[in-house]
Amino acid sequence: MPSREEQYPLGDDGLVVEKVGAWAKTKHKLLTDYIQASGGARSNYHTRSGASYIDVFCGPGRLLIRDTKEYIDGSSVAAYKRGLKSPGPFSSIEISDWNEELLGATHARLRSLKAPVVATPGPAVEAMERIVQNVHPYGLHFAFLDPHNLGALSFELFKILKKLQHIDIIVHISIADLQRNVDLYTSEDYDQFNTFAPGWRNAINYNAMNKTALRSAILNYWSDQVASLGLTKAKHSELIKGPGNQRLYWLCLLSRSPLAHKLWDAISSAAKRPMML
């Protein structure tokens, strides 16, 4: 495992960056394509009740592709830039990260672009609570939840976001974490699954399942619990793979809006699937 200095070196602009795999470019293309596609809807809210971009795992705002010299924008910076090019720019860029150095780097990079950025320090759930309290409850908001592992993806984040009348969410679900640690996380000594999907032990007969069935059951249970909040998961989830074709994570859209689901189908690989007659 790389040291912190190896994972977060200084970048080409003098601020800290994060080393990531090349698949981050695929993830960010989906993110920015959705932002472009949803710009028309966002333009109806920008000057009225607002249209915020929310990212509580923002990282440093700039990335270095591992084993190369290629730098790319982090999610918040990429989202802001694409929003400017779309019919509906974001009225505010709401960022947070538990690591204050990383948060400060993203904040500095966005300020240099004259973005309407608001930085909220602290753990993700606490920061999300404050962000949702500060944005307009009837604006059209978009949240990108991109944690490093399932344990960081607290179900409380979705319970907080559901308070917003109009919210679209793209969320990163780590398959790799689930595959590596399913035995560990089912132990009562660990609370990662409890944080991600509260109540799963009472709903799933996990002792009678093999690992594959258990992973599927946990994801289905999580999806049902999110749907119970009124945040419907799109039928298609985008699978992101690594260089060895290994399954890394899903990108999922959650939204109450039929238009959001239509846009997701148009920009994701669902659009490339043959139509069934």
- Residue linked to tokens 């949803």: 38
The rounded distance, in Å, linking the Cα atoms of 271 and 273 is: 6
Task: Tell me how many domains the chain contains.
Answer: 1
State the Cα–Cα distance between residues 196 and 145, nearest whole angstrom: 13
- On whether residue 170 sits in a domain, the answer given is yes
State the pLDDT at residue 49.
84
pLDDT score for 46: 74
DSSP state of 135: S
- For the chain, the straight-line distance linking the first and the last C-alpha, in angstroms and rounded, comes to 49
Task: Kindly report the backbone phi and psi dihedral angles of residue 251, in degrees, each rounded to the nearest multiple of 5, phi listed first.
Answer: -105, 125
Predicted pLDDT at 3: 74
CA distances from 47 to 30, 59, 198, 213, 226 (A): 26, 29, 38, 48, 30
Report how far residue 201's alpha carbon sits from residue 47's, in angstroms, rounded to the nearest whole number: 46
Local structure of 48: helix, strand or coil? coil
Is 216 domain-assigned? no
- Rounded Cα–Cα distance for residues 243 and 183 (Å): 25
Within a domain: 192? no
- Write down the pLDDT at residue 184: 64
Residues whose CB falls within 8 Å of the CB of residue 151, separated by 6 or more in sequence, listed in order: 177, 185, 191, 192, 195, 196
CATH number of the domain to which 57 belongs? 3.40.50.150
pLDDT of res. 271: 60
Closest CA to 139 of 166, 117, 162: 166
Q: Is 101 helix (H, G, I), strand (E, B) or coil?
A: helix
How far is CA 179 from its chain centroid? 19
DSSP 197: S
Return the pLDDT at 275.
37
Residue 137 lies in a domain: yes
CA distance 62 to 83: 17
Question: Would 66 be classed as within a structural domain?
Answer: yes
Kindly report the number of other CB atoms within 10 A of residue 224's CB atom: 12
Return the pLDDT at 243: 86
Is position 84 within any domain? yes
Instruction: Decide: pTM greater than 0.85.
Output: yes
Name the residue type at position 27: K
Ranges of residues in the chain whose predicted pLDDT is under 50: 274-277
What pLDDT shows up at residue 276? 34
* pLDDT score, position 277: 27
- Domain containing 144: what range? 4-174+235-269
Domain assignment present for 245: yes
pLDDT given at position 254: 98
Q: Is residue 186 part of a domain?
A: no
Residue 164's pLDDT is 98
Separation between Cα atoms, residue 41 and residue 241, nearest integer Å? 31
